[in-house]
Amino acid sequence: MKLRITEEAKQQLEQIQDPERPLIRLFYDTEGCGCGVNGLPTIRLEKEERSTDRKVENDDYAVIIDDQQATFFKKDMKLDFMRGTFRLSSPDGILNPIIPIKDVKEGATV
């Protein structure tokens, strides 16, 4: 699995990067979506790796994903930043068009 991060997204990540949470987690957010298979692929800053995590290929950042959640993501993805929000896409289409900065910084409850 690979995540390419555009220059615009890198600039924004640099502004919000937290030394206490140096990892970027690809996360399948099911909060308020009904059940575990209904959700949105998203990103958030993370403190540490878990035993169920695996690394996602990226040249600039340490990116991780939970092994079980990897099913909900594509093999090749791009993280962009446009119109004030992050956007996660793949060659097949957009995975999540609106990922607010606040959600990336604060994460979601697990």
- Domain at 65, CATH number: 2.60.300.12
Rounded to an integer, the average pLDDT of 45-51 is: 95
Residue with tokens 């939970």: 66
Indicate the average pLDDT of the chain.
91
Q: How many domains does the chain have?
A: 1
Is residue 81 situated within a structural domain?
yes
Domain that holds residue 77: 1-104
The dihedral over CA atoms of 11, 17, 19, 20, expressed in degrees to the nearest 10, equals -160
Lowest model confidence (mean pLDDT) among 27-31, 36-40, 57-61: 36-40
Q: Sorting pLDDT into bands at 50, 70 and 90, what band is 22? A: very high
Is residue 109 situated within a structural domain?
no
pTM assigned to the model: 0.89
Is residue 2 situated within a structural domain?
yes
Question: How confident is the model at residue 29, as a pLDDT?
Answer: 85
pLDDT at residue 80 tops 60: yes
Question: How confident is the model at residue 109, as a pLDDT?
Answer: 45
Is residue 69 situated within a structural domain?
yes
